Structure 1
């Protein structure tokens, strides 16, 4: 069936796909991959309907979603509005309420403040949505975003971290490569061995993207007390985090510099956002010899992993087609779709051997690489969540790991105190 599209500045209309296929079993059991459907579910998309879809996803992944849906739902037309064309505040002002939304997790509180999220528990029950399809920790993290235990969002992929490393630097200095399952303390020892200045080149053992690891918050520490809405940064646990992660910059020849792992190629190890496509291109054009291992952990990690960072679907309370929107979301969270996205390099968020085995299968330039490392970044016990966490995280990564720390002009206790004061000041400003 041909798919046609009409794009305008704020929206595109796309005719999409075949009969409803449920990704549901029962909500309280099963393996999460069943496709059985009942009468109510079968009728939810049996008639022609136009669904308004609002998203901040990039065009590449949006097109993949549309292609997958087009094979399943001939009775559905998607009217897609992109956030880059119509901002959240503009959307609220226009009053054209979407039927469902996909957005990045960092924008959840903005969506909530505009009244664009609702509890999907009734729909999950009605259509026997099996939340056990999700990986361990997902639903606990989801419910942490509501003080009532509501399901205000359903995540659809994981932003998992790995440790990238430049094999040529380790070969040059005769040092063993990193391996899966390392602790930060072990990475510290490796970084010391490859942080050198030789032949006019400074080789840095390990650098990391500050914002990314602050959001990952591997120790599961709160930024803001949900009862008082005050920062809780001056703690022994946050001191441990800062001493460990900031401590890398005190290794001789590994002082902080804004270097690019795949361009400069004098950084032995790096972690942050997923840069696989850029690394692959560098390998092709400059011969970068790279690989990855799983994200290192703290030797004593009470959370058991990292905080869930995942884009999500939600349904606004003002949606005129809640049932149809939820059926579409159910399909997008099915094993079938998760496998298709995994092949393209999206980390599955469901328990699925097929999706795991398919991961990165269609990505060029990764043959022989340890891509399974992306699947080892476990979701930890969620930290207390507040609407002011974005403010706190922004101040923390810019200030706590800022120049006062890595130039050793202030001690850790002073920095944490000043960070806490700055967070509280910005929270108060946001309340006015």
Structure 2
């Protein structure tokens, strides 16, 4: 394949990568698969099955030497972490623990920093950390998976210290192989603007609030006042799909066939879209995307409550009179919070320092580092450890006096089964929600068409 064709592929991939936080992500995953195959042609290398490729067979671990090592750690999304923040948050601790390891950080976003560009440039990448939802498109699709099971056995890492659902998700993605470890848990709570509750004389939400109670608050707080439209509720709807408490599965059990025309999905979508059916809501597709939902609450401050699950931009709360309540629950399962949506950390198949990279993974998931990492309140530990939990938010001035226990009060619901096509299925359901909110389709039609579209995309991807 010519170099100009390769450049066109990379340009197209960058445009897809920019859509990561928007609603329509299903097609992106499918096209990313095509980009992988074409890039392989550019490199004149043969793409092998991740589980059977020789580069992914873990050799017997040897004693890691103490020679100086440049350890390249990559995160694909600039909106989440900057290089400076990574150096401060991770780099100083890693170098202090391992003086011979010099952490170097790369963040996706600027030209030349997308995964296919880095691979073509033969850039060293030893470690990747990314959410469970983006693992396929930002890691596995590029044959970067490497089974760390022998390292785990040699180092006697106790996988029981992690949430069992998070480990199960990792093994499902690796089809039995374990390519990484959970790094951070998802942050899930109801964040609310106390000033708007006070303005309209409405009582604050409490821990243990149900979805029905939240809906009633939403109705009271969706008000047109002083030429300003106020809203009771905004949400990261992508999270409510992937972390749903009903454990509504995206696929027919044991297959890659999308199945979302079930009663549990219909009820779940009905429960969600009713919030946007309250008179006064802007139901246009543009207003429904995650960025605008956040903008209303964090920036414009015209929304009283925000439901987030995979991360909350606490820095955007500066100057707001805010507090937290638990994530809404169903009355029949009052302790069941969202399903886990962890950020995982992986050793790559192209690393020349795999054993040292695993040592870094082992350290970053240790009680020592996790106790430090949770102190600013921006991350939740993956460890089931009372001491670590008590450390959450203790060094954050912004969180002093706030109900931070809301983040830790609920248990995880069982996770959705994951496979290579999860992002396609999730994107199709997102499109269905947007169409129902906009009044373009009823729930049954939207889910049926979403199911058909997702299965068609998956069939096309399998045929390439």
TM-score for both structures, normalised by structure 2? 0.75
Residue 179 of structure 1: how far off its partner (Å): 1.0
- Are residues 1:91 and 2:121 paired? no
Contact 1:224/1:386 (CA < 8 Å) preserved in 2?
Answer: no
Residues 127 and 252 (structure 1), Cα distance of their counterparts in 2 relative to 1, 3 Å cut: same
Supply the distance in 1 between the matched residues of 2:272 and 2:330 (Cα, whole angstroms). 10
Query: Residue 367 of structure 1 aligns with which residue?
Result: 400
Measured after TM superposition, the shift of residue 163 of structure 1 is 1.0
Question: Do residues 268 (structure 1) and 304 (structure 2) align?
Answer: yes
Please tell me whether the aligned partners of residues 146 and 152 of structure 1 are also in contact (alpha carbons under 8 angstroms).
Answer: yes
Q: 1:131 corresponds to which residue?
A: 159
227-236 vs 134-143, which deviates more?
134-143
* Alignment CA distance shift 1:107-1:251 (3 Å): closer
Q: 1:204-283 counterparts in 2 under 5 A?
A: 204-225=231-252, 227-254=254-281, 256=283, 257=287, 258=292, 260-272=296-308, 273-280=311-318, 283=319
After TM superposition, list the pairs within 5 Å mapping 1:12-411 onto structure 2: 44-56=64-76, 57-59=81-83, 60-84=85-109, 85-96=112-123, 98-110=125-137, 111-148=139-176, 150-225=177-252, 227-254=254-281, 256=283, 257=287, 258=292, 260-272=296-308, 273-280=311-318, 283=319, 288-300=320-332, 304-344=336-376, 345-376=378-409, 378-397=411-430, 399-402=431-434, 404-411=435-442
1:390 aligned counterpart, secondary structure: helix
Instruction: Return 183-192 or 235-244, whichever deviates more.
Output: 183-192
Q: How many residues align?
A: 384
Query: For residues 201 and 347 of structure 1, do their structure 2 counterparts lie closer, same or farther at Cα, with a shift above 3 Å needed?
Result: same
Q: Which residue number corresponds to residue 43 of structure 2?
A: none
CA distance in 1, matches of 2:449, 2:201: 42
Q: CA deviation at 1:53?
A: 3.2
C-alpha spacing 1:157/1:357, structure 2 compared with 1 (3 Å): same
Which has the larger helix fraction? 2
The TM-score, its normalising length taken from structure 1, stands at 0.80
Deviation at 1:252, TM superposition (A): 3.1
* 3-state SS in 1 of match to 2:349: coil
